[in-house]
A and B are shown apart, each in its own frame.
Chain A
């Protein structure tokens, strides 16, 4: 049996009476790249939060490197080892970095938590990580407010890579960036995956992005997986009407918003009748 970097089985979560995630399953091979696609309310963010332990699933299993992490962590050692294996990069680099902590300290903190290193080793590793994401000594001494959005997201990435995780969850990690910067970060992510063999879960609403960053794609709609498969197949020959609607909604020359609006209404009536 191949061991997956990340394996998710029948994940379920409701808030109040509202089912947010309903029977979601997928797996990610070591060094693989999976995109979880959906709109607001699709359950993609709740899924990501369950993966990193920010929400507890009502039912289902999450295994990282074969180890189950569905139950609450008991004790500091378990919490730390779980955190080491799986890290997250958030959407908004203006909110995800502590404004009072310098870039150097920000990257050193996970090193201090997870590894027994001398201060000198730690500084060396920190500089290596910052160099890996294209930041130098000048940025290391700076506070986040001195940095641009793209630079901040590089810091968040260096911090996440510090624990040498098996899997990185990227929750709309490039959505807040300018297009010309987004492409730089995507390049960097591809390079890092090639070199280190870390696996990615891209949580995104941007289908055009999926084509260029993910081997496989999972389409979520109202908490359920409506379609999944290799991204090249799903994007060129989608089988589910919702996937087709998402694809047509991407603006491009010859785009017909009026038709998309009509398709969307038809799909909404259909799913109302079937439920």
Chain B
């Protein structure tokens, strides 16, 4: 059997340095197939960004990781520095939330987009030609002229396209997107998403899409993982998640989201989201859960499969959420 494009298995991440020592992720497992779009959804402190960044071994300083993160069967956590550099340049790319904070404001757009190609040994002229093609493919007009411009001459939406172009330069098989449209206006968001999903289809690239927005994840992804306090609590097809959420947290998130097509006012989930370090024993969501039983606070519920959905809830079989 050929290995999956991305397979994260039982990933634990913890900070070990002194007073800040604390766990961040606990037993995270997820996978992305070739050409598949997968959403990773959670609120602040859920560990979704750390999970995403671990695929490039971009762990917080002083962090230790256990488990495995394999790209095409190769473990990212144990590979050599040289192989890791190569992986970041050619196999897996990442786009971040704030393009203004991630693109060097003192360098021209052309330098940003060609950096990886030049480092990989491509000639300057070839790299620039290729960069112009990439800018054109993300909908930037007059790409040749754009290469000579500086980041401040672009709007946020345009600069986010530049970041996507830069991420595509190495023709990655897997694209990691960490809240790539959160800082953008809604109409700009739609445009950037259209570009992302279009390119994914053309290049049959795998996509791991990290967001706090369940609706957005469901609108563009095949499958969605929901994280809470450093653990994955539910994984389902995007449609299944909306039709029949299996975890009380997922159903709580759905009920809290204001909806255009519904008169039902958004309902908050009592309490606030916690990180893994603050989580009590047992199910981390139990304190906010209307269905919690004494048993819920004893052990961390195991993730298991029910009708194609994966759920980590003690009462998943008996409960049905609307």
Which residues of the other chain, A, contact B216 by a CB distance below 8 angstroms? 251
A80 at the interface (CB under 8 A from B): no
A181 touches B213 (CB 8 A): no
Which applies to chain B's interface (DSSP): helix, strand, loop or mixed? Answer: helix
B242 touches A260 (CB 8 A): no
Which residues of the other chain, A, contact B214 by a CB distance below 8 angstroms? 179
Which residues of the other chain, A, contact B190 by a CB distance below 8 angstroms? 248-249, 251, 255, 257, 260-261, 264
A183 touches B267 (CB 8 A): yes
Within 8 A of A (CB), among B56-73: none
A187 at the interface (CB under 8 A from B): yes
A211 touches B258 (CB 8 A): yes
From B190, B219, B267, residue with most partner A Cβ within 10 Å: B190
B253 touches A253 (CB 8 A): no
Segment of B7-15, B191-199, B290-298, B300-308 in the binding face? B191-199
Which residues of the other chain, A, contact B270 by a CB distance below 8 angstroms? 184
Nearest residue (CB) in A for B266 is A183
Tell me, in angstroms, the Cα distance from A207 to B193 when the chains sit together: 19
Given contacts A180-B256, A183-B269, contact A246 B187 (CB under 8 A): yes
A40 at the interface (CB under 8 A from B): yes
Which residues of the other chain, B, contact A39 by a CB distance below 8 angstroms? 185-188
Tell me, in angstroms, the Cα distance from A183 to B288 when the chains sit together: 14
The interface bits of chain A over 185-222 (1 if a CB of B lies within 8 angstroms of the residue's CB, else 0) are 11100100000000000000111110110000000000
B272 touches A181 (CB 8 A): yes
Given contacts A39-B186, A179-B257, contact A264 B191 (CB under 8 A): yes
Which applies to chain A's interface (DSSP): helix, strand, loop or mixed? Answer: helix
The interface bits of chain B over 308-320 (1 if a CB of A lies within 8 angstroms of the residue's CB, else 0) are 0000000000000
A149 touches B269 (CB 8 A): no
Tell me, in angstroms, the Cα distance from A187 to B239 when the chains sit together: 28
Shortest distance between the CB of B303 and any CB in chain A (Å): 21
A247 at the interface (CB under 8 A from B): yes
A251 touches B258 (CB 8 A): no
A178 touches B44 (CB 8 A): yes
Which residues of the other chain, B, contact A205 by a CB distance below 8 angstroms? 185-186
Shortest distance between the CB of B218 and any CB in chain A (Å): 6
Pick from A181, A184, A211, A249: contact of B186, CB under 8 Å: A249
Within 8 A of B (CB), among A14-66: 39-40
A96 at the interface (CB under 8 A from B): no
Interface residue count on the A side (C-beta < 8 Å)? 41
Pick from A180, A208, A249, A251: contact of B268, CB under 8 Å: A180
Which residues of the other chain, A, contact B258 by a CB distance below 8 angstroms? 182-183, 186, 206, 208-209, 211-212
Within 8 A of A (CB), among B243-276: 252-253, 255-261, 265-270, 272-273
Tell me, in angstroms, the Cα distance from A85 to B115 when the chains sit together: 55
A258 at the interface (CB under 8 A from B): yes
Tell me, in angstroms, the Cα distance from A133 to B174 when the chains sit together: 46
Tell me, in angstroms, the Cα distance from A257 to B216 when the chains sit together: 11
Which residues of the other chain, A, contact B186 by a CB distance below 8 angstroms? 39, 205-207, 246, 249-250
Within 8 A of B (CB), among A213-270: 235, 245-255, 257-258, 260-261, 264
Nearest residue (CB) in B for A151 is B272
Which residues of the other chain, A, contact B260 by a CB distance below 8 angstroms? 207-208, 211, 235, 247, 250, 252
Tell me, in angstroms, the Cα distance from A258 to B219 when the chains sit together: 12
B198 touches A258 (CB 8 A): yes
The interface bits of chain A over 166-185 (1 if a CB of B lies within 8 angstroms of the residue's CB, else 0) are 00000000000011111111
Tell me, in angstroms, the Cα distance from A253 to B257 when the chains sit together: 14
Pick from A182, A211, A235, A260: contact of B187, CB under 8 Å: A260
Within 8 A of A (CB), among B116-133: none
Tell me, in angstroms, the Cα distance from A245 to B185 when the chains sit together: 12
Shortest distance between the CB of B299 and any CB in chain A (Å): 24
A148 at the interface (CB under 8 A from B): yes
Which residues of the other chain, B, contact A251 by a CB distance below 8 angstroms? 189-190, 193, 213, 215-216, 218-220
A150 at the interface (CB under 8 A from B): yes
Shortest distance between the CB of A182 and any CB in chain B (Å): 7
Nearest residue (CB) in A for B270 is A184
Which residues of the other chain, B, contact A209 by a CB distance below 8 angstroms? 258
B89 at the interface (CB under 8 A from A): no
Tell me, in angstroms, the Cα distance from A186 to B266 when the chains sit together: 8
Which residues of the other chain, A, contact B268 by a CB distance below 8 angstroms? 180-187
Can you give 27 contacting A-B residue pairs, CB < 8 Å? Answer: A40-B156, A150-B272, A178-B43, A178-B273, A179-B214, A180-B252, A180-B253, A181-B272, A182-B268, A183-B258, A183-B266, A185-B268, A206-B186, A208-B257, A208-B259, A212-B265, A247-B260, A250-B186, A251-B193, A251-B213, A251-B218, A252-B261, A255-B190, A255-B219, A257-B194, A257-B197, A260-B190
Q: A151-B272, A178-B43 are in contact. List 8 more A-B contacts (CB 8 A).
A: A39-B188, A40-B185, A181-B268, A207-B186, A252-B215, A253-B219, A257-B190, A258-B197
